[in-house]
């Protein structure tokens, strides 16, 4: 089958080539890929920036989001059948959606929302699960609370704003002048043009912050949260608890402890709950997200759709930082 492959870590184009069809395990479904989203996280994996967490052995097929049709099921699969239209975020170390076929554990798969296209469905899993696990699972955001979602016009931001509004929260976000109308249309109540204003001077007493920027921005974010509030970072730095959760070797856990020391110390001084979130595939949560999409509470935001053969161009566009919402490749 055709696929886009990482031959060795580094900032270089993926290799387009033929690889064997994935081996289907007993508890997996084989999905014929119709569309796959391209994420900044894909670039980080390709570059080797997350090797401490995800030690992929090269060569491997890249890609973390998929929408397509089930063409085969393992003998222990009970939730899906051949012909089902599905979407998923595969488990770590079993990725590979930049290909014509991908094998995915059934627990990370859900039926595709019926009212959207394959391309729109492919844009959802990674960002939708990230927002869900941060706002619903980790911080339990609820009606009447205030949440600051950074980078509102990005992939996670466009979804998280809508989810937070559905939960009844007041939403603040940052974006550039060109994207103010977009984030307001998604439900943002307070919009800060980061080129003109400093969010740490504008926001106070927030219940939750979803950090998707660098550590400098994260430390500023700690100051806008009320005591006992929550700051969840999806970028940096990882913490010791995360090292335990992923069963990282002792030495790697100590690296995580050191990386997050200054942030944890500042959070403790301000009496703010800080945690690092590394999203996981979850079919049950994708089913709940599908219901929100079908009800109209959340709509996908897709910037561009590239043909499969232009996967490297799509990845370069994502890395440029110009994308509004998600970038998708159409495989079939």
For 21, residues 6+ apart whose C-beta sits below 8 A from its C-beta are 1, 30, 101
Coil, strand, or helix at residue 327? strand
In angstroms, the CA 120 to CA 127 distance is: 12
pLDDT for 243 equals: 72
Which domains, ranges and CATH numbers included, belong to the chain?
Answer: 2-123+300-330 (3.90.180.10), 126-276 (3.40.50.720)
In angstroms, the CA 218 to CA 67 distance is: 33
Q: What does the block give as tokens for 117?
A: 């296209």
The model's pLDDT over 232-283, given as tens digits with 9 standing for 90+, comes to: 999 877 766 777 776 777 777 787 777 778 898 999 999 999 999 999 999 9
Q: Considering only CA atoms, which of 282, 324, 308 is closest in space to residue 180? A: 324
The model's pLDDT over 196-234, given as tens digits with 9 standing for 90+, comes to: 999 999 999 999 999 999 989 999 999 999 999 999 999
pLDDT for 252 equals: 76
Could you tell me the sign of the dihedral formed by the alpha carbons of 84, 154, 142, 293, in that order? negative
Q: What is the pLDDT along the chain (332 residues), one digit of tens a residue?
A: 999 999 999 999 999 999 999 999 999 999 999 999 999 999 999 999 988 888 899 999 999 999 999 999 999 999 999 999 999 999 999 999 999 999 999 999 999 999 999 999 999 999 999 999 999 999 999 999 999 999 999 999 999 999 999 999 999 999 999 999 999 999 999 999 999 999 999 999 999 999 999 989 999 999 999 999 999 999 877 766 777 776 777 777 787 777 778 898 999 999 999 999 999 999 999 999 999 999 999 999 999 999 999 999 999 999 999 999 999 999 99
pLDDT for 242 equals: 72
pLDDT for 247 equals: 73
pLDDT for 239 equals: 67
DSSP 8-state symbol, 159: H
Q: What does the block give as tokens for 316?
A: 């370069």
């Amino acid at each position: 089958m055709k696929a886009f492959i990482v031959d060795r870590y580094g900032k270089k184009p993926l290799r387009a080539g033929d690889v064997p069809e994935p081996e289907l395990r007993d508890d997996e479904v084989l999905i014929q890929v119709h569309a796959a989203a391209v994420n900044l996280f894909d670039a980080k994996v390709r570059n080797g920036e997350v090797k401490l967490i995800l030690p992929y052995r090269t060569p491997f097929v890249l890609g973390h989001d998929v929408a397509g049709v089930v063409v085969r099921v393992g003998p222990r699969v009970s939730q899906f059948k051949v012909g089902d239209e599905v979407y998923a975020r595969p488990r770590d170390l079993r990725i590979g959606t930049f290909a014509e076929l991908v094998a995915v554990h059934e627990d990370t798969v859900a039926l595709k929302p019926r009212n959207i296209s394959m391309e729109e469905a492919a844009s959802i899993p990674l960002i939708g699960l990230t927002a869900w696990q941060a706002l619903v699972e980790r911080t339990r955001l609820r009606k009447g609370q205030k949440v600051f979602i950074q980078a509102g016009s990005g992939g996670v931001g466009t979804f998280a704003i809508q989810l937070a509004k559905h939960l009844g929260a007041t939403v603040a976000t940052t974006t550039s002048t060109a994207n103010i109308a977009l984030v307001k249309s998604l439900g943002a109540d307070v919009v800060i043009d980061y080129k003109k204003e400093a969010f740490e001077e504008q926001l106070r007493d927030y219940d939750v912050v979803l950090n998707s920027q660098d550590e400098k921005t994260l430390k500023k974010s700690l100051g806008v949260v009320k005591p006992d509030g929550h700051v969840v970072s999806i970028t940096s730095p990882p913490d010791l608890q995360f090292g335990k959760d992923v069963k990282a070797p002792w030495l790697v856990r100590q690296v995580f402890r050191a990386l997050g020391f200054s942030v944890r110390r500042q959070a403790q001084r301000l009496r703010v709950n800080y945690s690092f979130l590394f999203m996981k595939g979850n079919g049950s949560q994708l089913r709940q997200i599908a219901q929100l999409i079908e009800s109209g509470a959340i709509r996908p935001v897709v910037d561009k759709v590239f043909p499969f053969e232009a996967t490297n161009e799509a990845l370069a566009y994502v890395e440029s930082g110009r994308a509004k919402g998600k970038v998708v490749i159409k495989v079939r």
